[in-house]
Structure 1
Amino acid sequence: MKSKWESLKKILGGELKGICANQLHAQQNKTDFIFNTVEPVLYIKNNGLITYWKVDWGETMEADDYLLLNEQSTPEPVEYETKENSHYRHILGGSGIEVQQKTIQNISGYGFKDRDDTFLTTLLLELEEVYICIKAGPVLQIVISNEACDELPDVIFST
């Protein structure tokens, strides 16, 4: 059976317009920007259409964290307002970030197998010159860096 998060592969070549959440807590170390949040939403323009990917988390019976990804037509749970006759259909509230390099060059998912199930724990988006790494947990961590994430689990999929 095809996992729901595998459909994320179809955004390859699209533009990451931004990441938003009702609250984004930001910090910066020497080279990276680190954001901690709950239920962030990626908004992506692909083939002229904006789609939203809500990122959430779950926990196995053994207390291992994993990512839940859901493609949707609105930016929920982020607060938003609908504008019918506008270039952007939704005006987003809350917090948001944009990156300069927008084209999604590669998408990789990392995680682990547990019996018959496969769990996605880390999502890595490679843009033109930066990497965006999203790690599972009750508070999700989003790292924007010039280098790929360290200490990645097993590869589950890659484009």
Structure 2
Amino acid sequence: MKKDWTSFKSIEGSLLWIYANQLGVYQSIEDISLICMEPILKIRRPDSSETIYWRINWKETDLGDDILLLKEQDTPEPLDYESVDWLEEKHTIMSSSFFLEQNNIKRVSGYGFKENGSEFLSAIILEMDDRFISIEAGPVITIKVTTTLLSDLGDLLF
């Protein structure tokens, strides 16, 4: 499973949007939490108009642990969208969305656990210029936007 993380570990660019069919947004003093099922992250490659999408899902292991499933793709499937032929846009997406103004991705870290000689990813952290975005596995995916790095996410895998 570790080999599937290669493209995510080295991602660079800008996180443009976070999409989901239904997106709950909650703000506290310290952070903003997004609660959703199967979010799609839209990322623009550096010095380019090329965009990619991260499809984020989860599953439960035989022992009941939640793990993240990440898939890089060229379209925002399974969301409802239409293809367009605009200069910097290829898709119009009909869903809930969340936008961050300061969106440069500096580094991606993955956290999880080891079981029977395999590594399982349960959370990822996107380190931005002035904040962190954590994405945690579960029946409902939790995405937190904070100014401090979250702790207790498991073992650092990458």
Structure 2 alignment gaps of length 5 or more: none
> Is 1:5–1:70's contact at 8 Å kept on the other side of the alignment?
no
Cα distance in 1 for residues equivalent to 2:2 and 2:14: 25
Cα distance in 2 for residues equivalent to 1:58 and 1:8: 19
- Residue of structure 2 equivalent to 1:3: 3
Residues 94-133 of structure 1: pairs in structure 2 closer than 5 A: 94-133=95-134
Per-residue deviation at 1:36?
0.7
Cα distance in 1 for residues equivalent to 2:19 and 2:3: 24
| Per-residue deviation, residues 71-123 of structure 1 (Å, max 9, x unmatched) | 00100112111102442000111111111111111110000000121100010
- Residue of structure 2 equivalent to 1:60: 61
**SS of residue in 1 equivalent to 2:105:** coil
Per-residue deviation at 1:150?
2.6
TM-score by length of 2: 0.94
Cα distance in 1 for residues equivalent to 2:35 and 2:3: 26
More deviation in 34-43 or 75-84? 75-84
TM-score by length of 1: 0.93
> Is 1:20–1:97's contact at 8 Å kept on the other side of the alignment?
yes
- Residue of structure 2 equivalent to 1:78: 79
Identity of aligned residues (%): 39
Per-residue deviation at 1:2?
4.3
C-alpha distance 31-94 of structure 1, shift in aligned 2 (>3 A): same
Cα distance in 1 for residues equivalent to 2:68 and 2:151: 18
Total equivalences in the alignment: 156
Cα distance in 1 for residues equivalent to 2:127 and 2:98: 16
| Per-residue deviation, residues 48-88 of structure 1 (Å, max 9, x unmatched) | 21000100001110010000000001001121111024420
Cα distance in 2 for residues equivalent to 1:100 and 1:85: 22
**SS of residue in 2 equivalent to 1:11:** coil
* AA partner of residue 60 (structure 1): T
Cα distance in 2 for residues equivalent to 1:64 and 1:50: 32
More deviation in 60-69 or 39-48? 39-48
Per-residue deviation at 1:44?
0.4
> Is 1:5–1:68's contact at 8 Å kept on the other side of the alignment?
no
* AA partner of residue 91 (structure 2): H
**SS of residue in 2 equivalent to 1:68:** strand
Cα distance in 2 for residues equivalent to 1:31 and 1:118: 31
